[in-house]
Structure 1
């Protein structure tokens, strides 16, 4: 393989890992800082991806119109799609937060994964909404034509890195503010926080919406990178489980750990794909995805047994920026 080919693979890896780092940061707001056991990351992932795709795509014509039967196709710029994705994910989080955020621990986890699956099944079965199981293809990419297609991923890598930096700075400032300290107090003991006069429900709602907005933006970035999405992308394994492993590995309660975990786990996920394809006989290739899943599961067990706090662990000092 040539040097150019190796660089192309590395850039593609970096783009996807950066997008997952954004998801990991968002989950860190929910779990790492607020104690919200959200197992429905894939739901906000899907809402953001479909929203941005529909807002930025142009109405289908010709042969494409026979394949794509979307209702909304506004042809808006990429930035508008990102903002719409975050806004829609935040609205969905606000609506489902009322019945779910009063639940605790396992019950919240069960309800969020159920809602995420419901969202995925709606996109899968309601063809009028976003073309059903066929999904959407031809999602536009920003700054296309600026460079040759073979080098476009460099442009998109710069875009996702800028978004990651902005999200990281925003979350850091929020967590190190009085608002963030209230969230951590609620995570540790809701009763004490409520006794101190804090409206526990509304603080949890704020954290839930903020994390969902970031997840929606991450979903939009993923959709514009792949240029095609369908409901299978948002299954719990790919849309939720991997993000949880990333956060736990890097260290929940630590934003730098969330980013580090995303790159490590995506590297393992991508590396095991190559390894399994080379080691597994062709007649057993249908079982290859399950081998990768087993390897990730073993990694998670080892993390929980050997270093439950993650690689970096939670930061104890939260007021350095104040």
Structure 2
């Protein structure tokens, strides 16, 4: 196996894992809470631009250039995207699912227009370049550079996965699923649906912002055209294919759908002449659509659907004990006196 092939595999997995982080954020919003967010590209863009502004060197024609460490940029991106998601959720979280989708889509379009027109802040249509990359000193060794970047993403995804799994199994996660399944019943139990939804929306938005920052630093360049509605479609396809409500499914779906996207792009480049490749690139969307339809027909809940968790207190009783602990008829139980 050649060094180039290993390097490409590492780059492929690195990009797939950045999408996996976005899917984990969407899974908090939709898979656990039922919030229909169609503004994914906007939150990813917020994280990417905030981190780029914080970490790039000083430039004469653009605001920013604080030249801070990459870790600070990632943290700032997650906080900025989470705070903006909280503010947007505070205004829109009471809307019905279809109206919430329209509102979040409008937010994504507004973010892209801001990135396109606020040239002093975002670089306008030319974007922001020279974004510092992790382990830049090893750029002369492409294999080591790619593998170390992949290692960073593996650690980030693993930490997020473990943290979200713990949240899902906590009382907070059970309340989210209760609100998703029956909001009226959750309200009857004294749970504030608005407050819990707002928390989930902000956490999911912050995770998407972190993914945008990671993607920006591994590529080294961002522009408004990177955050079109197609990004939102890709992430939704990833979550549906992998399995909504399951964090492992979100990660698996991201890897599979990104694999379809990359393989179809390679096929287009190999089959079509250069002057037709731009139009033939639409086949990538067709391939993802075919995969999505196949999954919905064969496994409507996704490859790894949501795992229904039973309370550990109920699980302590064997089926026989649960059956015999309830009287089987209405006959009075006579107790023999001593």
When normalised by structure 1's length, the TM-score is 0.93
Closer/same/farther in 2, CA of residues 39 and 12 from structure 1, 3 Å limit:
same
User: Who is 1:74 aligned against?
Assistant: 66
Alpha-carbon distance in 1 for matches of 2:28, 2:300: 18
Alignment of 1:225-244 (within 5 A): 225-237=218-230, 239-244=231-236
CA apart distance, 1:285:
1.9
- 1:143 Cα offset (Å): 2.8
Task: For residue 258 of structure 1, give the secondary structure of its aligned residue in structure 2.
Answer: helix
1:105 to 97, 104, 107: 97
- Residue 201, structure 1, aligned to residue 217, structure 2: no
Aligned to 1:11: 10
Gaps of 5+ in 1: none
- 1:22 and 2:21 aligned: yes
Q: Which runs of 5+ in 2 are unaligned?
A: 313-338
Contact 1:177 1:319 in 2 (8 A): no
Please give the secondary structure, in 1, of the residue aligned with 2:136.
coil
2: CA distance, partners of 1:283 / 1:82: 39
RMSD (CA atoms): 1.4
2:134 aligned to which of 120, 125, 142: 142
**Structure 1 counterpart of 2:108:** 116
Structure 1 residue aligned with 2:209:
216
Contact (CA 8 Å) 1:56, 1:81: kept in 2 or not?
Answer: yes
CA gap 1:143/1:9 in 2 versus in 1, 3 angstroms: closer
For 1:185 and 1:274, how far apart are their aligned partners in 2? 44
Q: Which residue of 2 aligns with 1:96?
A: 88
Equivalences for residues 243-282 of structure 1 within 5 A: 243-282=235-274
With the length of structure 2 as denominator, give the TM-score of the two structures: 0.89
Measure the CA separation in 2 of the matches of 1:38 and 1:319.
30
Instruction: Please say which structure displays the higher CA radius of gyration.
Output: 2
- Higher relative contact order structure (alpha carbons within 8 Å, sequence separation ≥ 6): 1
1:306 maps to 298
- TM-fit CA distance, 1:149: 3.9
Change beyond 3 A, Cα 1:252–1:276: same
Structure 1 residues 283-306: Cα deviation after superposition (integer angstroms, max 9, x where no partner): 432212211111111221222222
How big is each residue's C-alpha offset from its partner over 1:89-129, in whole Å with a ceiling of 9 and x where there is no partner?
01110111112111111111111111111101111111122
Assess, with a 3 A threshold, how the Cα gap between structure 1 residues 232 and 169 changes in structure 2: closer, same or farther. Answer: same
